[in-house]
Chain A
Amino acid sequence: MVLIGESIHIISKNVNDAVKNRDPKVIQDLARAQSTAGADYIDINLGPAKKDPEEMTKWLVETIQDVTDLPLSVDTLNPVAMEAGLKACKKRPLLNSSSGRTDSKERMLPLAKKYNTDVVISVLTDKGCPPDVDSRTESIMETVTIANDMGIPNEDIWVDPIILPVSADQKQVAEAGEFISILADLLPGVKSTIGLSNVSNGTPEQLRGILNRTYMVMLGRMGLYSAIADVLDEELVAINKGKMPEIVDLIYKTMDGEDIPLSSLDKQKQDYVKTTKVLMGKTLYSHAWLEM
């Protein structure tokens, strides 16, 4: 799976301060660390980028490109910042993201065409996040058609189904796999991506990793092409690189409904089985799901 490193995020206080003071150190350290850890792309999440969007984005892109050759995922809701970022990228970037929202279709999608980028298109619409597989399908079909009409081919489109936290909506977490598995039939050639860490948003910090890792494996099996993820999680990268096949196998078996006696497994493996069942919606989530 293609991993997009999520750590350069304006919500992080360190990053926010560094951007405000145009201090390259924190940013470059994060870029280097993620690149060493095994990221395929570096995400630059600028949020709404209200202040000096052009100058700030250009500075950030250049600051990061000074220390890594990886392609960038320019992640902002502000089309002005987006354009400045895409213009400054040396390698073919990922526009992250556009959606079915009117303003996004009008102002973001044309940038993907103009700068010949890959582009994330999420299922969000003017009404918010579609609540089930059918309405997600309806939304993405419509937006991709518009993108195709602009001359953006399916091969350049990375569909984002929008993942919700398991602590908030367990049912939708379980259904996301279904959406990903039908994508190839719906829109041949499209790729897919998710904001992986969102699945564990709201879960106690020390328990987030295993949710992220398990969900990555589950959705990977359904055909997920890439994830915006915490690449500084060594176990996550190791699993992604095929270094923990026994864990992957265990998750697959659990997904297939095999009854694996927990007592035959060590603690780490038990935790992966329990987590898979929670993410499948088979056991009700609680913060204490590993303690049962």
Chain B
Amino acid sequence: MEYKAPVETYTGKVAEVVIGKGDKAIKIGGESVLPFHFFEGTIQNPPKLALEIWDIDPAGWAEWVREPYKDVLADPVAWAKKCLDYGADLICVRLASTDPAGDNAPADKAAAAVKTVVGSIKAPVIVYGSGDETKDIAVLTKVAEVCSGEKLLLGPVVKENFEPISKAALDHGHSIIAQTPLDINLEKELNVKLLKSFPPDRIVIDPLSSGLGYGMEYSFTIMERTKHIGVMFGDSTMQMPIIADLGGESWKTKQAKENKEQGILWESIAAISLLLAGANVLVLRHPDSCQYMKEAIEGKL
């Protein structure tokens, strides 16, 4: 008797989120199968890769990850273009300058920097604030306003600040990153609250991505469960694409800082793991990791 492999079909479908406008636009999510289950259906939007830039010189970065960008670290536009040359699908701007524990730069200055980057490159843009839940309100609402209509992906939006930021994003046509601290129940709670006033196809879930050896398995499990609950069990509050913001977490590890090859592998192994768990977009730092993931996604690894 001929063997026939079992093929599952699922009831749920991940929302398709568009980032960027016009011919810059890319789509993430949209699948109604589990990650890399090509044998069960089509994955119309393969995972996308973002390289990360800062709006100030990232003095604390390991030298191996500063080196590929050494001429452009003080110039976000040139840095963003270099990332695109290295093969990134989109750019993630982290507004590190606004961190109250650091430079504490004002919101309008940071927003102006984002606008310049957005206006200078032919790729969609993700914007992460410093992660300070109070300061991010000022920063991200300003970015939303200054870049009105650019269809940015803005975050992190957390339970303490989701109301003002999501309202600004809604008014100005952007999508948002809903971030919760490695907890699937809190992840759902934030989504439920957001969905009362915000469309599901403009939300991306960030469950937090820990580095390899520093809790990555928690991130893996939560991403995997999110897909199970959204795709297999059809829970509409869990059907958003997932962002794995893992570059920073990977490069701050002792192992990544020790030597270049190990650092790139440290980032790449976390990245491929989280892709398998279900991440729809990765935020990476080293161009080589980006290249490896590109090959993996295209089925070359």
Contacts and interface: CB of A to CB of B under 8 A. Distances in A.
Chains A and B form a bound pair:
yes
Interface of A: 167, 283-289, 291-292
A111 to B, nearest CB: 40
Interface string B73-87: 000000000000000
A285 B229 CA distance: 11
B152 interface: no
Contact of A287 (B184, B189, B229, B238): B189
Given A287-B189, A291-B196, 13 more contacts: A283-B235, A284-B185, A284-B188, A284-B229, A284-B237, A286-B187, A286-B188, A286-B189, A286-B237, A288-B188, A288-B189, A288-B193, A292-B237
B192 interface: yes
Given A284-B229, A284-B235, A284-B238, A292 B185 contact: no
A249 B189 CA distance: 29
Interface string B163-201: 000000000000000000000111111001100100000
Contacts, number: 32
A291 B197 CA distance: 13
20 contacts: A167-B185, A283-B235, A284-B184, A284-B185, A284-B233, A284-B238, A285-B188, A286-B186, A286-B188, A286-B189, A286-B192, A286-B237, A287-B185, A287-B189, A288-B188, A288-B189, A288-B193, A291-B192, A291-B193, A291-B196
A167 B184 CA distance: 10
Contacts of B235: 283-284
Nearest to B192: A288
Interface residues on B, range: 10 to 19
A280 to B, nearest CB: 12
A289 B185 CA distance: 10
Nearest to A166: B185
Contact of A286 (B185, B196, B233): B185
A287 B235 CA distance: 16
Specify which of B184, B186, B237, B238 lies most central, judged by the most chain A CB atoms within 10 Å of its CB: B237
A288 B196 CA distance: 11
A289 B188 CA distance: 9
A167 B186 CA distance: 10
A286 B189 CA distance: 5
A81 to B, nearest CB: 37
A80 to B, nearest CB: 40
Contacts of A291: 192-193, 196
Interface in B210-235: 229, 233, 235
Nearest to A291: B192
A94 to B, nearest CB: 34
A284 B235 CA distance: 8
Nearest to A288: B192
Contacts of B184: 284
A218 B294 CA distance: 50
Contacts of A283: 235
A247 B233 CA distance: 26
Nearest to B193: A288
A279 to B, nearest CB: 14
Contacts of B237: 284, 286, 292
A292 B229 contact: no
Nearest to B189: A286
Interface string B245-270: 00000000000000000000000000
Q: What 3 A-B pairs have minimum CB-CB distances, sorted nearest first?
A: A286-B188, A286-B189, A288-B192
A107 to B, nearest CB: 38
Nearest to A292: B192
Contacts of B189: 286-288
B13 to A, nearest CB: 17
A135 to B, nearest CB: 22
A287 B196 CA distance: 15
Contacts of B185: 167, 284-287
A291 B188 CA distance: 11
A289 B237 CA distance: 11
Interface string B6-46: 00000000000000000000000000000000000000000
A195 to B, nearest CB: 21
B39 to A, nearest CB: 27
Interface in B92-111: none
Nearest to A168: B185
